[in-house]
Amino acid sequence: MSTEHQTDTPMVEIRNVHKRFGDLEVLKGIDLTVNRGKIVSIIGPSGSGKSTLLRSVNHLEVIDQGEILLDGVRVNRPDMNGLIFERHINHIRQNMGMVFQHFNLFPHLSTIDNVTLGPRKLKGMDKHIARELGMELLDRVGLAEKAAVFPNHLSGGQKQRVAIARALAMQPKVMLFDEATSALDPELVEEVNRVMRGLAEEHMTMLIVTHEMTFARDVSDWAMFMDEGVVVEECTPEKLFSNPDQERTCHFLRKHLGDNH
């Protein structure tokens, strides 16, 4: 790892993480550290375990072995159960904003209500303060004028920007993006990437799973290439994209660089 990467404080630490689905071992001992304010991209072929890893970070997948820490606090706690664990994981999740490929907005709620629901229900934020915060965030993603609109009247790119605003409304310590632009028409990708770039400029800590190689190269401080559940290579994106050490990485990048751009 680069010196700069190491000297920062870890925000997300993934240590020797294993995960299997039945006979299929999807994660075979993954280690990764995302330092505060850094952007790390996870790239790799389909089925290599990228989404499973990201989902494990906020315990949407339960890992079999290893540990994951958020800002020094252990996420997986096999020693806890029932209500105690539920409270623990809810607290952890409040500090992680997750953006999925398929938006997952509540169709029966307006844009502003989608954004303010979390702070109101989970953090007990006053309705007016939540609305103020929600409007500020909608403005930040360029959608203030859509506050009263329902999700089915928004384009895919707009829905994804609302999803980002909704995640930010919890004022998370880290944002997790799982192929946030994969479901979008090509002409809508840039508006979402622009919002993500804005977050990067504000030093939001981000862990990004993406198939967009150019975006990963441009926005990340660190890039990790995964294949078949193992980390093949991790380094600065400049190094990974210009001079990958591994044949598997080379082959993948040759195939994908230049795609969809």
C-alpha 80/C-alpha 125 separation (Å) is: 28
- Kindly tell me which of 113 and 178 has the beta carbon lying closer to ligand ATP: 178
Size of the site for ligand ATP (CB under 6 A): 11
CB 201 within 8 A of CB 194: no
Task: Give every CB contact of residue 155 below 8 A, 6+ residues apart in sequence.
Answer: 188
Does 248 interact with ligand ATP (rule: CB under 6 A)?
no
- Kindly tell me which of 26 and 68 has the beta carbon lying closer to ligand ATP: 26
Q: How far is the CB of 211 from ligand ATP (least distance, A)?
A: 7
CB 28 within 8 A of CB 43: no
In the numeric block, the tokens 């993500």 are attached to: 196
One-letter amino acid for residue 77 of the chain: R
> According to CB under 6 A, which residues from 52 to 111 bind ligand ATP?
52
Give counts: helices (H), strands (E), the chain: 10, 10
Q: Which stretch binds ligand ATP (CB under 6 A): 18-26, 85-93, 105-113, 154-162?
A: 18-26
Q: How far is the CB of 25 from ligand ATP (least distance, A)?
A: 9
Does 47 interact with ligand ATP (rule: CB under 6 A)?
yes
Does 231 interact with ligand ATP (rule: CB under 6 A)?
no
C-alpha 134/C-alpha 138 separation (Å) is: 6
C-alpha 46/C-alpha 163 separation (Å) is: 24
Does 193 interact with ligand ATP (rule: CB under 6 A)?
no
Pick the binder of ligand ATP from 3, 7, 46, 152 (CB under 6 A).
46
Q: How far is the CB of 12 from ligand ATP (least distance, A)?
A: 17
Q: How far is the CB of 85 from ligand ATP (least distance, A)?
A: 20
Q: How far is the CB of 182 from ligand ATP (least distance, A)?
A: 8
C-alpha 207/C-alpha 34 separation (Å) is: 7
- At 64, which helix (H) or strand (E)? none
Pick the binder of ligand ATP from 12, 13, 17, 49 (CB under 6 A).
49
Q: How far is the CB of 49 from ligand ATP (least distance, A)?
A: 4
Tell me the DSSP string of 18-85.
Answer: EEEETTEEEEEEEEEEEETT-EEEEE-STTSSHHHHHHHHTTSS--SEEEEEETTEES--TT--HHHH
Instruction: Give contact residues for ligand ATP (rule: CB under 6 A).
Output: 21, 24, 26, 44, 46-52
